């Protein structure tokens, strides 16, 4: 049955990649009759050049092509755009089974050219509908991120005003206050500080989600960093039957990384440990490995079930939401994102009733005895440089 000619434009751009001119031409005409904008390339190199320059909704890729196979091209396109719809075309036998190709290459369709144009158009319709749904979801997520960032930004000014006046009152700038009033003001100051920290987490996470992050590398003395974290931990566990220890026996003298991001990760890990540990200890260990520097935060807290370990790194996820400890479940999600921006990762080992160990692993560029030792691949960067990062 002949399909009705569509005169309206669909709004979709489709890229055809096929080394056979006749196949490219016939497929192009078929898709243009459907109202689509169509681009064509005869090999993988041409396809990648077009793909980088022009937003594409769907790619139709021939499996067998000279120099670069369809499989190789799909993998490179996936690195550039994980959301583009891809249909693999084949006119030959011998390659991997269709279901294997769908799974391995993360493609949305597998069309045998022998099945004819109607079957191809069916695959195209399915892929374009999927694209529409995905774009709508991505746009909704973008709007949510913008809302979170905007609301969080608007919170900062009144919080700073409240915190500033509270500090002035506690410092006696307006005269002495009775002890009862000072107790209330300290509670207000603590609450304002906690809320301010949450606002910062929201803003940082929204910034990372918007792919707006730079890495500024500087030398950070490990001893000074550990002392700073120790002072913070002392305030967090004050009045509780527990201790905070630092173990630096195998630590390097200094590490070269982004100081703000590293401090944010470690502060979040220590704060998280203090939140879920009522007694015992929290230990910060820094260790030089052959190709990495490891920062481990170990606690004797509640612990986490094995099936829940992966969930703790999801944003807005709290495994123990009814414990009254507060927060929005952003700290660990933010920390893992920051770790990966720095070229490392954040892992968790935990056992219920025993405790947890969060381990931050960073590429090893360390200062030993005042000299630079480069253990990571590539040359050492300058002591301070801004590096744009694509998330």
Q: In a 3-state reduction of DSSP, which class is residue 49?
A: helix
Task: Enumerate residues 6+ apart whose C-beta is below 8 A from 265.
Answer: 295, 335, 338, 339, 346, 360
How big, in percent rounded to 5, are the helix, strand and coil portions of the chain?
Answer: 45, 25, 30
Tokens of 67: 């120099």
Q: Are 338 and 388 in contact (CB under 8 A)?
A: no
pTM above 0.85, yes or no: no
CA dist 174 and 183 (Å) reads 16
What is the dihedral sign for C-alpha 193, 194, 195, 199? positive
Cβ neighbour number for residue 319 with a 10 Å cutoff:
14
The per-residue pLDDT for 209 is 63
Among 31-45, 128-142, 309-323, 374-388, the range scoring the smallest mean pLDDT is 374-388
State the pLDDT confidence band at 331, using cuts at 50, 70 and 90: confident
- DSSP assignments along 279-330, one per residue: SEEEEEEEEE-SSEEEEEEEE-S----GGGGGGGGSTT--TTGGGS----S-
Q: Residue 166 belongs to what H/E stretch?
A: helix 117-170
Report which of residues 329 and 172 the model is more confident about: 172
Q: Are 244 and 234 in contact (CB under 8 A)?
A: yes
Q: Which of 25-39, 130-144, 250-264 has the least mean pLDDT?
A: 130-144
Token pair recorded at residue 175: 């005269």
The answer for residues whose C-beta is within 8 angstroms of residue 354's C-beta and 6 or more apart is 300, 303
The domains of the chain, with CATH numbers, are 13-115 (3.40.50.2300), 142-209 (1.10.287), 214-389 (3.30.565.10)
Could you give the CA distance from residue 282 to residue 270 in angstroms, rounded to a whole number? 8
DSSP state, residue 40: E
| Each residue's pLDDT tens digit, 34-64 | 999 999 999 999 999 999 999 999 999 998 8
Residue 153 has pLDDT above 50, yes or no: yes
pLDDT tens profile 79-126: 899 899 999 888 665 566 777 777 777 788 888 888 889 999 999 999
* 211 confidence band (pLDDT: 50, 70, 90): low
Structure-token pair, residue 158: 């009144």
Q: For 173-196, how does the pLDDT look when each residue is reduced to its tens digit (9 = 90+)?
A: 888 888 888 888 888 887 787 677
Tell me if residue 62 falls in helix, strand or coil.
strand
Quote the mean pLDDT of the chain.
81
DSSP element (H, E) containing 199: helix 179-209
């Amino acid at each position: 049955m002949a399909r009705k000619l569509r005169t309206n434009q669909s709004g979709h751009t489709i890229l055809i990649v096929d080394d056979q001119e006749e196949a490219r031409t016939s497929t192009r005409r078929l898709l243009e009759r459907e109202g689509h904008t169509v681009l064509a390339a005869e090999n993988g190199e041409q396809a990648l050049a077009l793909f980088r320059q022009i937003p594409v909704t769907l790619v139709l890729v021939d499996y067998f092509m000279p120099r670069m196979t369809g499989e190789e091209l799909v993998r490179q396109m996936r690195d550039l755009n994980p959301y583009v719809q891809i249909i693999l075309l084949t006119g030959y036998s011998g390659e991997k089974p269709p279901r294997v190709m769908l799974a391995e290459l993360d493609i949305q369709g597998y069309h045998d050219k022998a099945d004819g144009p109607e079957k191809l158009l069916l695959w195209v319709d399915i892929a374009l509908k999927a694209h529409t749904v995905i774009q709508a979801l991505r746009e909704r997520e973008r709007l949510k991120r913008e809302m979170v960032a905007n609301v969080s930004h608007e919170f900062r000014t009144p919080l700073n005003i409240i915190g500033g006046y509270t500090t002035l009152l506690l410092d006696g700038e307006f005269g002495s206050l009775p002890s009862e009033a000072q107790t209330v003001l300290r509670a207000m100051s603590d609450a304002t500080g906690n809320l301010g920290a949450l606002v910062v987490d929201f803003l940082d996470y929204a910034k990372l989600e918007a792919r707006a992050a730079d890495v500024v590398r500087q030398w950070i003395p490990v001893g000074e960093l550990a002392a700073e974290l120790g002072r913070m931990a002392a305030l967090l566990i004050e009045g509780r039957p527990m201790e905070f220890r630092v173990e630096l026996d195998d630590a390097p003298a200094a590490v070269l990384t982004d100081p703000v991001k590293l401090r944010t990760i470690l502060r979040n890990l220590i704060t998280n440990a203090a939140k879920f540990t009522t007694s015992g200890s929290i230990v910060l260990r820094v260790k030089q490995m052959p190709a990495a520097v490891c920062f481990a935060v170990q606690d004797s807290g509640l612990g986490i079930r094995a099936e829940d370990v992966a969930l703790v790194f999801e944003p807005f996820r709290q495994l123990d939401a009814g414990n009254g400890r507060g927060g929005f479940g952003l700290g660990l999600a933010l920390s893992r994102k920051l770790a990966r921006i720095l070229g490392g990762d954040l892992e968790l080992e935990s056992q219920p009733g025993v405790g947890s160990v969060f381990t931050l692993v960073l590429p090893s560029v360390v200062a030993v005895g005042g000299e630079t030792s480069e253990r990571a691949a590539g040359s050492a960067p300058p002591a301070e440089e801004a590096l744009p990062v694509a998330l």
